[in-house]
Amino acid sequence: MALLSPIKDHHSERRLFVRRVIASAVVAILLLGVVIARLVQLQIVHHELFAEKAQGNRVRIEPVAPIRGLIFDRKGRVIAENLPAYQLELVPEQVSDIDDTLNRLADLDLIAREDIPRFKELSRSGPRFRPVTLKVRLTEEEIANFAIQRPRFPGVDFKPRLVRHYPDGKAVAHAVGYVGALNSDDLLRLDPARYAGTSHTGKTGIESSYESDLHGAAGYRHLITNARGRQIPFDSAKLLDSLPMDEKPAPGSNVYLSIDLDLQLLATRLMENRRGAVVALDPRNGEILALVSAPSFDPNLFAVGMSTAQYAELEGSPDVPLFNRAVRGRYPPGSTIKPMLALAALETGATNLTRKTFCIGYFMLPNSTHRYRDWKPEGHGPVDLHDAIEQSCDVYFYEISQEIGIDSMHDYLVRFGLGNQTGIDIGGEQAGVVPSREWKRDNFRNRDDQRWYHGETVIASIGQGFMLATPLQLAAAAGALATRGEHFRPHLVAAVEDALSGERTLVTPEQLASVEISSSFYWDNIISAMHDVMQGPRGTARAVGFNAPYTMAGKSGTAQVVSIAQDEEYDEEEIEERQRDHALFISFAPLDEPRIAVAVIVENGRSGSTVAAPVAKAIMDQYLGYGDNVVR
C-alpha cells in the first residue's frame, strides 16, 4: 500500500514567502533609492534650474508696447499724435451666448454685422479668459449708450488705450501715411522682440518709411499666473520682491517734417472736388513744403479699424482716393518740358536765341501730309525761342525737335530728374518715362514697333506720346530750373528727435548732379521767358500772375488724354469729362532768389493756364506771405 503525501507543505511555503518578502523589500529599497536620488537631483544638484522653471510657470512676462513717436510739421504743429480712447472688449468665458451678445451689439450699432463671424472665430481661437477687441475707438456717444446697456452685456466692457490720430485727416493722408493692424506679412518681416505687444505698424508714407524711428522698443512686466496662464492677484510683499524688475518700453522718436501745414491745408482746399496732385518744394535744399493727392481719404479710419464695407467703398471708388497721385501718378507732362528742351536745343545747336519760325497753326514733316497741330489753330505768326516759351508755341518745338533728336532730348530731360525716381523718403514712388531709341528697343518685342519714327520725336517735343512724369518729378525739375541747374533730392523729413533727451538729428540735404549748361546767358533767356509766361504781355498765364506783388516764373501744359483723328475738331464740351485734357503747371518764385517751386496737375482740367496756374499762384502767395494765412 503506497504512502500518502502531505496535503500542505508549510516549510516550502514559508521559504517562498520569505523569498518574496525579501525580493519586495529589495525592490522597494531600490525604488526608494531612485526617488531619493531624484529628489537629491531636483532639490540639490539642479535646484537653480528647476527653481527658475517653477518661477516661470507662475510668472508670465507680458510685453508692454512703446508709445509711438509724434509727427510735426516744420513749425512744430502736430500732424500725427496718440490720443487716449476706449476700445470695446469681450471676454469669451464670461459670455454665456456669444452669438446673441454679438447680434445685440450689432443692433446697437456698436459693431458691424458683417464682422460678427470674425469675432466669433477670434473668441474660439485663443484662451477663453483673453479679451477679444470688438472696436478700437468708441465715441463719447457710443460709450454713453453702452454704459446704460452694460448690465445686459455681461463679459463686455470698454478699456482705455492710446490710438493714433491725425488731426488734419485727409489733408496729410498721402504724405504722412497711416498705421494699420499687423498682418501676417508684417509679422514675418518685423523683429518679434521689438514688436511684442504691438498691434499696429506704419503702412504707407512717413509712418512706414520711418517706422523704425517712430515705433520705439517694447518693454515688459511680470504677472503672477496660475497653471492655465490666468493672472491672479497677489498682495505679498515678499512675493513681489522676489520678481525680476520690469523693463519700461522705450518711446519712439518724434519726426519733424519739412511740410508747412498752412500750405498743405491750402493746397488741399484748392484741390477740393478735383482729381490731381500738388507738390511744392524748396529748390535750395529739396525740402517738400506741400504734397497733396486729390481726392484723399481719412487715415484715422485705418488707425481705428474700418468695416469691410467701408474699405470696399474706398477701394472701389472710380476716383481711387487711396492712390497717391503725387508720387505714383504718371501723366504726359505736356508743354511743361519746353523750357528744358529749349536749353537742350541751345546746347546742341538745334536753335539759337534769334532764330524765328513762322507758325501757321500746324507743322508737317517732309514728304508727309499729316498735320501736327498747334494749340492755337490760327497760329502765332513769327516766333523766336523766347516767344515760343512765353506763348507756348507748339510749332516752334515741332520744328526744332528734328534737329535735337530724341536721344538728345532724353539725355537732357533725364538731367532734370525726369524719367527716373527722385528717391524721396516715402515708398511707392513710380519712375516716369523719357523715351529714346534704346528705350523703345527694350520695351517692345515686335521688330516694327522697336523702330523709332520721326513723328514720335515731334510729339515728344511737346511732352506727349510715350513721355510720362509724376507731379513730384515735375516739381523737382522746376526746382532745378529755379536754381539754374542745382538739383537736390526731394525729402519730407527735416529732423528726428529723441523723445527722452530732446536731442534732434537734422536731415542733411543731398545734392545731386547739376545740370551743366555752357552759357549763363541761356539760363537768363529761358528763365526770362518763363517769367513772361506769368507776367509778360503775351504770356499764356498772364491773367494769373500779371499783378502779383513779386516776380515769378512758370510754364503751363495741357496733356491730351484721348487722341482724335486728323480732320476731327476737339470739342471739350461734347466729350465725357474723364476724357478731357489734363491741366498742368510748373512755377517758382521769387525770380531772383527762388524759395519755392510748385507743380500742379488737375486731371481733365482742360487748361493749365486757367485751371492749374491759379492753384500754383495761390500756394506761392501763401508761402511768400501774400496769402490769407488760413491754417484750419
Residues tagged active-site: 335
Q: Do 253 and 160 meet the contact criterion of CB atoms below 8 Å apart?
A: no
DSSP state string for 130-170: S-EEEES---HHHHHHHHHHGGG-TTEEEEEEEEEE-TTGG
Q: Do 550 and 624 meet the contact criterion of CB atoms below 8 Å apart?
A: yes
Burial of residue 253 (CB within 10 Å: 0-12, 13-18, 19+) is: buried
* Nearest Cα residue to 220 out of 61, 94, 338: 61
Alpha carbon separation from 75 to 79, 128, 258, 285, 503 (Å, rounded): 11, 49, 9, 17, 17
Q: Do 547 and 580 meet the contact criterion of CB atoms below 8 Å apart?
A: no
Alpha carbon separation from 364 to 367, 369, 442, 454, 478 (Å, rounded): 8, 7, 29, 11, 31
Question: Grid coordinates standing for 484?
Answer: 539754374
- The CA distance from 470 to 419, in Å, is 9
181: CB partners within 8 A, 6+ apart: 199, 200, 305
Task: Please give the backbone phi and psi of residue 498, each rounded to the nearest 5 degrees, phi first.
Answer: -70, 125
Alpha carbon separation from 317 to 120, 321, 328 (Å, rounded): 30, 7, 17
Amino acid present at 480: A
Amino acid present at 319: D
Which DSSP letter does residue 484 get? Answer: T
483: CB partners within 8 A, 6+ apart: 283, 284, 594
Question: Grid coordinates standing for 327?
Answer: 508720387
